[in-house]
Structure 1
């Protein structure tokens, strides 16, 4: 199998990786045969996965465009995976050419790929850290530098909190990160939800129980609690395609089928 220039020599290309599988769903090129095989198996059980992943990426793009357009120049993307197919730094710099981005992921494969891809970008950094260890995450020099000063920071928690089990106290983890943000900062959340397709919740969670990254789908009120201390930006907490769509005609007839609730909040 051909080893691409963005692939470190120590990575096993025969073993699927969640970040590269996500890239495949997005229609990207940073994936290999093992990743595509895993994706196809998951799609047999959950055919809408590619559409959901693309709706998730489209929401990330719209939220970053909104914040960058409102003056944000610092972005902390926790649980970022590999920054491909419209990554945060590219989207933000359409509005803010000097935007700084720190990507954070716990997966060493995703981190290694990302470091190689970002090596020539002086304003983007990749950090290996875990959301469930917030003190270590915040102590990382790159993260600490991004948070230093009075400039507001956009904290992106897009499709990551549902990978944090209840026993890890996810709301407490988010509150700790919130308290480290400068005044006027923002939070962006996308979370797999139990609303919309309640008949599919069991099977969806079962798919991920077969992987190394099981998910916990949560209800509206549980997701809303992640925004404690923030003021929600219109239209509030809505289904993936409904948050400030590019045009009304781009919202599918049944947005609840995307199985995710999203929102953006601002600190006073």
Structure 2
């Protein structure tokens, strides 16, 4: 049944089906979500009680990766599939290391774009950061528009971020070619930070719950797709992997920011079901 239009919803928001960006926001304790997203999230928690902790672990990896890049001298970032603003946004983490850091956020969900713009304006940093509505699948559109903001200098290294988003690119879509196109546009010395859900090497004792969650997401407007560790590694072809290479999200530089979420997975990092990596373009 189609819901009545919500006057507070940004234009273009689909409230007929739950959306991954808004569900993820709910998992993290945010408020940029609607009843249909919360109902979905509550069912997901009933099915797989640790899903909120897993969501936090993925978010914490993003923070550690951004901090690492900033400490290597990267001062401009392109965050594609940035989602709804929540604790530990890229520009906040980057500027904590380098006050002059800049970031362009890109997402195809109107709620994420609208709230990102509100956050930047509220914090008084809209002149140094920008947000665009765009689809990761279309680098020919996203890349030039990101440069048109004037925030990024294409002649200097950029930190390209695709964390928690590539698994929404269908298995019948050219995910590898899309990533390679973005990487081909980056200048030498740039970094690529990414994570992905996998069923490769995850615990089997809760396999039924994970399968139910997977099927539940197929009913949303943003179904996700698993990829193997080998498939994920292909995204980093030609890049110099930062140690420890392809790893579980809670295993990637945990010393850079140990938290409750990663601590819960200390004994079995594979429980997160999330693999990740950071690569540098020679």
Q: TM-score, normalised by structure 1?
A: 0.89
Q: How do residues 107-146 of structure 1 correspond to structure 2 at under 5 angstroms?
A: 107-119=109-121, 120-121=124-125, 122-142=127-147, 145-146=150-151
Any unmatched runs of 5+ in structure 1? 1-6
Q: 2:276 is matched with which residue: 248, 251, 262? A: 262
Q: CA deviation at 1:77?
A: 0.5
Q: Please tell me whether residue 185 in structure 1 is matched to residue 190 in structure 2.
A: yes
8 Å CA contact 1:192, 1:218 repeated in 2 = yes
Give per-residue Cα distances to partners, 1:143-164, cap 9 Å, x unaligned: 6745534321011010100000
* Structure-2 separation of matches of 1:206 and 1:130: 24
8 Å CA contact 1:8, 1:112 repeated in 2 = no
8 Å CA contact 1:187, 1:264 repeated in 2 = yes
Q: CA deviation at 1:33?
A: 4.3
- Check 1:143–1:64 CA distance in 2 against 1; reply closer, same or farther (3 A cut): farther
Partner of 1:73: 75
Partner of 1:209: 218
8 Å CA contact 2:199, 2:226 repeated in 1 = yes
State the superposition RMSD in angstroms.
2.3
* Structure-2 separation of matches of 1:144 and 1:23: 26
Q: Please tell me whether residue 242 in structure 1 is matched to residue 251 in structure 2.
A: yes
Tell me the secondary structure at the aligned position of residue 190 of structure 1.
Answer: strand
Q: How do residues 149-228 of structure 1 correspond to structure 2 at under 5 angstroms?
A: 149-195=154-200, 196-197=202-203, 199-200=207-208, 202-228=211-237
* Structure-1 separation of matches of 2:254 and 2:163: 17
Any unmatched runs of 5+ in structure 2? 1-7
* Structure-1 separation of matches of 2:149 and 2:239: 21
Tell me the secondary structure at the aligned position of residue 244 of structure 2.
Answer: coil
8 Å CA contact 1:236, 1:264 repeated in 2 = yes
8 Å CA contact 1:125, 1:142 repeated in 2 = no
8 Å CA contact 1:79, 1:157 repeated in 2 = yes
Q: CA deviation at 1:38?
A: 2.2
* Structure-1 separation of matches of 2:129 and 2:44: 32
* Structure-1 separation of matches of 2:222 and 2:66: 26
Greater RCO (CA < 8 Å, at least 6 residues apart):
2
Tell me the secondary structure at the aligned position of residue 85 of structure 1.
Answer: coil
* Structure-1 separation of matches of 2:101 and 2:57: 24
* Structure-2 separation of matches of 1:214 and 1:197: 22
Partner of 2:64: 62
